[in-house]
Amino acid sequence: MSTALTKAPTPELHRFTLPNGLRVLLAPDRASPVVGVAVHVDVGFRSEPVGRTGFAHLFEHLMFQGSESLEKLAHFRHVQGSGGTFNGSTHQDYTDYFEVLPTAALERALFLEADRLRAPRLTEENLRNQIDVVKEEIRLNVLNRPYGGFPWILLPPVLYDTFPNAHNGYGDFTDLEQASLEDAAAFFDTYYAPGNALVTVAGDFETDDALAMVDKHFGDIPARPTPIRPSFAEPPPPGERRHTEPDALAPLPALALGYRVADPTADLDSYLAQTLLASTLADGEASRLQQRLVHGDGIVTDISASCGLLGPLDARDPDTFTITAMHPPEVAADQVLTAIDEELGRLATDGPDAAELARHTARWSSAFYGEQDRLMHRMLALGSRELLYGRAELAAELPQRLAAVKPEQVAAAAAAAHEGGRAVLVIEPSADNKAEAQQ
């Protein structure tokens, strides 16, 4: 197995910056029969204004509603009518837009992305339509189901104090309904400047051809001032903060723990040690918390741990380490917490053993290779890591960097969690209460 770790494919990468400030990342791979284009914009839901929760995500929807050269619906039709697939997503610190298509459609994809980055068609009618669509999305994923928004919407307000880190990135209905065209124009002009975005092209193309096409379509977007990115730093909580949330649809209690993680830009090795801590705790039947809480004590139905609120290496500082568990009503939340704390304490004192750590590293290597093998995932990982950390190469480096993490670094990560402040979110089934008011 050690041989596989040393033969990580190193992607061929080329970087350029157009005169208008737009960054370009080209990752040619001539073995692939398809091509992908992604635009990553350096704004996420942490940057949306007070009183406009959910606006970054709503604006992502608006970017699919047409642009100067494209009527409403034309973007979807041109991508799919070229044999391609598309999507977009809004994260803490970035928003991405992407398509994967047969190679023949590369120039068309660049045209489509450039047209909306230059001149999106922002209309009152489309804004109202997409507010309705986003409200349906929130009903589907949050309001009409048990454990909606657990933990990504419900945990941050317990762990964080400041609006950017604590608020609901999907948005409150009242805020969404008040969103105006004026808000959309201001948001676009401020954050969607070419100097605040990155275009990634991956797959089957010649570098010179692709660069010429990028320049042809994006090159004449006028430069605009690039916003100064604020720091979202805030001190970690000094002790434990607890919040109980009733859930009328949930049949079983659940809980989530939130801890702060190391800044992946400033201290990647500590961050990776926390990534391995998450695996050591809860990845696989042999992990510490699964053995102890699921099988040994038999007090939780399922348990998981994750470094990063929306996944590993997906945000800048600050970000959240989560442990989530679902348990039967006869088991008290404190019983689960005590067992987790004991296991964290054991790891802090003794660390994982070297073979245990090697097993988790091997599973991570597989996961990274899996990500590399699908063009869409490979492209999005390259783009987001380039935008967030200036390091697209991380995709190829991670298996080796994880393999270099030592047991004492994981022990230190466990100690920091064991001793530091944290948030505890308790989901309490409340079926007796009438369901939340109709929206």
Partner 1 sequence: MTATTTSGHRSAGQIGRTEAGPRPLPPLATFLGAPVPDVVDATVSSGLRVLAVRRPTVPMVELRLRVPFADSDPAHTAQAELLSSAMLTGTHCRSRVELDNELATVGADLGVGVDPERLGVYGSALADGLPTMLDVLADVLTSAAYPPAEVDRERERLVERITVTRAQPRVIAREALQRRRYGDHPISREIPTGAEVEAVTQEQLRALHAGAVVPAGSTLVLVGDLDPEAVIGQVEQALQGWSADHPATELDQPPLVRGDDLLLVHRPGAVQSQLRLSAAAMPRSDERYPAFQLANMVLGGYFSSRLVENLREDKGYTYSAYSAVEFMRNSGSLLVEADTATDVTAAALWEMRYELGRLGLVPPTTDEVDSARRYAIGSLLISLDSQAGLAGTLSALTSAGLDVEWLRRHPERLAAVTTEEVAAVAAEFFAPTAFTGVVVADVDVTGERLRALGGVVGPESS
b/e per residue 150-169 (b: at least 16 CB within 10 A): bbbbbbbbbbbeeebbebbb
CB of 91 to partner 1, least distance (A): 19
Cβ contact 94:388 at 8 Å? yes
Q: Which is nearer to partner 1, 12 or 136 (CB)?
A: 136
Determine the 3-state secondary structure of 300 from DSSP. Answer: coil
- Min. distance of Cβ 286 from partner 1 in angstroms? 4
Q: Quick one: CA dihedral 344, 347, 348, 350, positive or negative?
A: positive
Q: With the C-alpha atoms ordered 331, 236, 49, 195, is the resulting torsion angle positive or negative?
A: negative
x-or-dash string of contact with partner 1, 248-267, rule CB under 8 A: xxxxx---------------
Q: For the segment 390-429, give every residue that binds partner 1 (CB under 8 A).
A: none
Contacts with partner 1 in 21-80 (CB under 8 A)? 31-34, 67-69, 72-73, 76-78, 80
The least CB distance from residue 110 to partner 1, in Å, is 8
Residues forming beta bridges with residue 324, ordered by sequence position: 256, 304
The nearer residue to partner 1, 107 or 319, going by C-beta atoms, is 107
Residue 353 interacts with partner 1 (CB under 8 A): yes or no? no
Span 107-136, contacts to partner 1 by CB under 8 A: 107-108, 111, 115, 118-123, 128-136
Selected binder of partner 1 within 265, 349, 366, 400 (CB under 8 A): 366
Q: Would you count residue 215 as binding partner 1 (CB under 8 A)?
A: no
CA distances from residue 143 to 35, 234, 407, 436 in whole angstroms, order as listed: 37, 30, 42, 8
Options 12-20, 40-48, 96-104, 231-239: segment touching partner 1 (CB under 8 A):
96-104
Is residue 365 a contact residue for partner 1 (CB under 8 A)? yes
Judged by CB under 8 A, the chain residues 161 through 190 that form the site for partner 1 are 181-182, 184-186, 188-190
CB 269 within 8 A of CB 403: no
Strand order in the sheet with 95-102: 14-17, 23-28, 197-203, 34-41, 95-102, 85-90
Residue 85 per-residue DSSP state: E
Q: Are 67 and 118 in contact (CB under 8 A)?
A: yes
Verify binding: residue 295, partner 1, rule CB under 8 A. Answer: yes
Please, what is the minimum distance in Å from the beta carbon of residue 229 to partner 1? 18
Which residue, 346 or 363, is less far from partner 1 as judged by CB?
363
